[in-house]
Amino acid sequence: MTAQSNADAVVIGAGIVGVMAAHYLQNDGRKVLLVERDEVAAGASAGNAGILAFPEIIPIPSPGIMFKAPKWLLDPLGPLSLPPAYALNMLPWLWRFWRASSRKAFAHGIAAQTGMMQLAAGEMERVRAIAELSSFFTHTGTLDLYDSEASFNAATPDWLEKEKAGFQFTSVGRADIERLQPGLAPQFRHAMYSPAGIQVNDPKGLTRAVADLVAARGGTLQKGEVRDIVPHADGATITLADGATIAARTVVVAGGAWSKPLATRLGDPVPLETERGYNTTLPAQDFQLQRQLYFNDHAFVVTPLAEGIRVGGAVELGGLELAPNYRRSKALLAKASRFLPELKTEGGREWMGFRPSMPDCLPVIGRSSASPSILYAFGHGHLGLTQSAATGRLVSDLAAGRATSLPTEPFSPGRFR
């Protein structure tokens, strides 16, 4: 006989976005069940760089991006690569990416991300104040480094947009760069310093700690792969791969890169694709990494974690099935070794994970077209950790039927129809 159960609010996915949604639903008095296909923080929530990137309001699809993209895509180890075996699958997504790079769409994206990041910064302050979670956050400041004066000057419009949005930073030269982070190669003579930069020192640990907090307040975790969601008058019924069903008043789809099939079955064929991110986590060592470092001309970061130093970034558009190409993580590590000559690169742990990415770089947050009781919270790309608390706030607003803390129209699942 097929197992059947009832629940108040079910959150599908126990990554950082899912556990934050569960936390905020609990704050509204909801009894929450988390359903996870693997383990808590099994995906990108474990392998991200740990940066709370609130100033990152500039969408990747920007005017002129399509003149640069072909060169990147042809380089298998470049900042944006597309394996030939997956190229045909990506054509619809790339078409929408190009559409999102128009000046009008770019301006719309900046406005939407600005509002989202302002909400994200405020909500994450609330999360940081929780006693069980506060130790995961460290003020490090952020250095955005450029190879040349030309590339530094070319980034000026982006920094002006960030300044307009209320984010603070300072232009620094070689002497200040060396003071802020000793040991950088002498080629780095131009940088922006953001003193407010916050590092999550253990992204996987933070996600699990939020899940533990949810459990301590009466929430439950069930392992299972969701195969179908069928709306009904009082909510929806979830069917798992083993045939078990769960009837729920509210369902939140927060399955990251695995959310697309469920949304499609519900009548919302979102153009969600997968960015495969690579990194190497180096063990603790004598070299003291004091800041979050962005190497902007090379599209990768180096960040300090409790367990050591993480080197990662760049984007490979390759879906969920292709085998990992760890040459990419090795290439990033080789660059880090050149840029930080004292960094010891032996004994690292390589990782590849899936970032759920929309072509306009905005997440999907809103009601499904099938039922107002089914909500979406996925597609954050590189910004899932950063925007997780804000997404939790918006999900709880939608579930409660109250005015949202931020207009959600820019994040509508139907915006590409």
The C-alpha atoms of residue 47 and residue 28 are separated, in whole angstroms, by: 30
The string of pLDDT tens digits covering residues 78-100 is 667 788 888 888 899 989 999 99
The string of pLDDT tens digits covering residues 330-372 is 999 999 999 999 999 999 999 999 999 999 999 999 999 999 9
Residue 120 in any domain: the answer is no
Average pLDDT over residues 233-251: 96
Residue 175 in any domain: the answer is yes
List strand residue ranges (DSSP E) for 284-385, in order: 292-295, 300-305, 308-317, 349-357, 364-367, 374-378
The helix (run of H) or strand (run of E) holding residue 395 is helix 384-400
Which domain CATH number covers 176?
3.30.9.10
* Whether residue 72 has pLDDT greater than 80: no
User: What is the domain range of residue 332?
Assistant: 57-89+138-196+272-357
**How many domains is the chain built from?**
1
DSSP 149-214: HHHHHHTHHHHHHHHHTT---EEE-HHHHHHHSTT--TT--EEEEETT-EEES-HHHHHHHHHHHH
Residues of the chain with pLDDT > 90: what percent?
86
The C-alpha atoms of residue 182 and residue 159 are separated, in whole angstroms, by: 24
Average pLDDT, the chain: 94
**How far is C-alpha 62 from the chain's CA centre?**
19
- The more confidently predicted of residues 81 and 33 is 33
What's the pLDDT score for residue 74?
Answer: 61
Quick check: pTM over 0.75?
A: yes
Residue 73 in any domain: the answer is yes
Average pLDDT over residues 138-167: 97
Residues of the chain with pLDDT > 70: what percent?
96
Residue 288's contacts (CB-CB under 8 Å, 6 or more residues apart) are: 182
Which residue do the tokens 């126990």 mark? 14
The C-alpha atoms of residue 35 and residue 39 are separated, in whole angstroms, by: 10
The C-alpha atoms of residue 273 and residue 356 are separated, in whole angstroms, by: 6
The C-alpha atoms of residue 410 and residue 302 are separated, in whole angstroms, by: 31
Residues in the chain: 417
Residue 114 in any domain: the answer is no
Residue 310 in any domain: the answer is yes
What's the pLDDT score for residue 316?
Answer: 86
Residue 366 in any domain: the answer is no
The helix (run of H) or strand (run of E) holding residue 261 is helix 260-265
What's the pLDDT score for residue 71?
Answer: 67
The string of pLDDT tens digits covering residues 283-331 is 999 999 999 999 999 989 999 999 999 999 877 888 898 889 899 899 9
What's the pLDDT score for residue 314?
Answer: 74
What's the pLDDT score for residue 312?
Answer: 93
Of the listed ranges 106-120, 129-143, 200-214, 319-333, the one predicted with least confidence: 319-333
What's the pLDDT score for residue 1?
Answer: 37
What's the pLDDT score for residue 83?
Answer: 81
* Tokens, residue 320: 């969920």
| Residue 4 and residue 34 in contact, taking contact as beta carbons nearer than 8 Å | no
What's the pLDDT score for residue 75?
Answer: 67
